[in-house]
Amino acid sequence: MSSSINLTNLPVWDGKSGACNVIIESGKGSRNKFKYEPETGTFVLCKVLPCGSVFPFDFGFLPSTKGEDGDPLDVLVLMDTPCFPGCRVRCRLVGVLEAEQTEEGESERNDRILAVAEDSRDNRDVHSIKDLNKHLLKEIEEFFISYNAAIGKEFKPLAWHGPNRTRKMVLEGIKRAERDQQPAAVNLQPSRNGHAKAKKVGSLL
């Protein structure tokens, strides 16, 4: 039985803590890649990573956002132990890997946000990518490069940025999602008898 709640429509920010909400899709150390399917409210196994390749951190998305690829913004979450698909984790934004993904000659932005679970003990002092080892950031880049190469895509890291740039990107993702949900605007035009006549003119945003 599918859930009556669409997890992609949950609020971005947690009302009590002010942290961001991340919905986990795939757990750290897993070869299985799960993807949330809003139509059924279930998590679908969509890919299995090659032998020897696993997710370096828990992987999920920010609800009520939309990236340039049309999907919710992707997030890697640093926490103490692996989580499970469907879990909502309160996180703080620490950085973002801006990247370009190419498939069949067509390129699009496919950035990866990095966050830390608010309740993490091991990462309680991490508030920015500056607090992380540079080798760790490089390993994250290499994971996505090899992960995409295995499925016939090219992943090109562009630059790492801190929490301020990340928060701005999230706000843009929120606006993009809200814009796509806007109903068609109605323009009231007078008819020949003087009564207003509604005419759809599309979104004004």
109-157 pLDDT, tens digit per residue, is: 889 999 999 999 999 999 999 999 999 999 999 999 999 998 899 999 9
Query: Which two structure tokens, joined as six digits, stand for 167?
Result: 């928060």
Q: How confident is the model at residue 198 (pLDDT cuts 50, 70, 90)?
A: very low
Measured distance CA(83)–CA(96) in Å, rounded: 21
The answer to whether position 98 is within a domain reads yes
pLDDT band at 88 (very low <50, low <70, confident <90, very high): very high
Reported as a pLDDT band with limits 50, 70 and 90, residue 62 is: very high
Residue 183 located in a structural domain: yes
- Percentage of the residues of the chain whose pLDDT score is greater than 70: 86
2 inside domain? no
Q: Rounded to whole angstroms, what are the CA distances from 26 to 6, 82, 156, 176, 205? A: 18, 9, 22, 25, 35
- 29 vs 167: CA distance, rounded Å: 27
Q: Look up residue 157 and give its amino acid.
A: P
Does 115 reside within a domain? yes
200 band by pLDDT with thresholds 50, 70 and 90: very low
Number of domains within the chain: 1
| Total residue length of the chain | 205
Q: Specify the CATH number for the domain of residue 147.
A: 3.90.80.10
pLDDT at 92: 97
| pLDDT for the residue numbered 6 | 93
In a domain, 62, yes or no: yes
Q: Which domain holds residue 152?
A: 7-202
pLDDT attached to residue 5: 85
As a whole number, mean pLDDT of residues 31-49 equals: 95
Question: What is the model's pTM?
Answer: 0.84
1 lies in some domain: no
The verdict on residue 74 lying in a domain is: yes
Instruction: Report the mean per-residue pLDDT for the chain.
Output: 88
In a domain, 135, yes or no: yes
Lowest mean pLDDT among 23-32, 90-99, 196-205: 196-205
Can you tell me which residue has the tokens 């992609």? 8
Extended beta strands in the chain, E state? 20-26, 32-37, 42-48, 58-61, 74-78, 88-103, 106-109, 112-117, 154-161, 185-190, 196-202
